[in-house]
Amino acid sequence: MSTVIPFESAKPAAAPKPERVGVLLVNLGTPDTADAAGVRVYLKEFLSDPRVIEDQGLVWKLILNGIILRVRPARKARDYLKIWNTERNESPLKTITRSQADKLAEAIADHDHVVVDWAMRYGNPSIKQRIEALAAQGCGRLLLVPLYPQYSAATSATVCDEAFRVLAGMRAQPILRVTPPYYDDPDYIEALAVSINAHLATLPFQPEVILASFHGMPKEYVDKGDPYQAQCIATTNALRKRLGLDASRLLLTFQSRFGKAEWLQPYTDKTVEKLAKDGVRRMAVVTPGFSADCLETLEEIAQENAEIFRHNGGEQFAAIPCLNDSDGGMDVIRQLVLRELQGWI
């Protein structure tokens, strides 16, 4: 005699809820305070990273601790004070990165098992703090998002280094993915072009020259195989094509050099000076290597280089904002994240 199975019990079991996934946006870092003490702590962590300064031998340690950390913090603190978000008592980089994480969470809120957070490679909130917090929320999978359009060992790779160090101390490690650089991603190039054109339309002048200024690095690092310079060139070439500008109208330069070694050239400040002396009177600068405005864009470009330009005969200077948490910038981050989450969501 056969057994009749009640209809209700014959229904398939409900599918298990998907495992929680953590998405961690990471940018370079910032001092916690805009004073010499805060900058000293930040610089010590930053300049003690062998990905940033590869030769961490005795001579460098003597220079770092005997000279740089005694002299540079007070000077850099004055620069930070020029751009500091006094309302939140934090740097603009921290304000913007937090907003990018909040807006990304809102944009992918229909994936309710995805948790979005943010961290800084140097300073706070640290990668260690946020990975541990995501693990505590049950995230068994982690997507690491270095917010650098172009890859370099001194930026993207050191984010991975730190994440791996954190995971090395965890018994139950989350499964890890890392987003790739997006230096020539069509969505990124389009967002840059739209942002540049929109900003240029607000200016009371038409720039004769636009500089695409990227953060510099020692030439030796590229000679050893770092792909950063090639990716900066690819970004600039794609941007020239999209904007319809040739190499004489959209120039590639490198900023923020440090120390006496040869860095990638041409240097931004020297180019700005020469162009002004050669008769260029109207200039704009865009910084496509930065996903968020920070000291290097708001102070070094918008203030220092503007002064260099005017001091040498230039008249009108504009610093074009980074994509930041704009609609276009967030669309780039959202599409990058969703593409790399395939199979997890």
Residue list for the binding site for Fe(2+): 215, 296
Per the DSSP assignment, residues forming a β-bridge with 22 are 115, 142
Cα–Cα distance between 299 and 193 in angstroms, integer? 23
Q: What is the dihedral of CA 292, 293, 296, 301, to 10 degrees?
A: 130
Phi and psi based region of residue 299 (left: phi greater than 0; alpha: psi -120 to 50; beta: remaining): alpha
Q: How many CB atoms neighbour CB 133 within 10 A?
A: 16
- Which pair of structure tokens corresponds to residue 128? 């260690």
Backbone angles phi, psi at 28, to 5 degrees: -65, -55
Which of 292, 276, 264 minimizes the C-alpha distance to 118?
292
Backbone angles phi, psi at 36, to 5 degrees: -60, -40
* Positive or negative: CA dihedral 290, 303, 43, 59: positive
DSSP for 124-177, written as a single string: SSBHHHHHHHHHHTTEEEEEEEE--SS--IIIIIHHHHHHHHHHHT-SSPPEEE
Which of 243, 237, 249, 233 minimizes the C-alpha distance to 190?
243
- As a whole number of angstroms, the longest Cα–Cα distance in the chain is 102
Q: Pick out the residues of the known binding site.
A: 215, 296
Cα–Cα distance between 298 and 83 in angstroms, integer? 7
Cα–Cα distance between 332 and 336 in angstroms, integer? 6
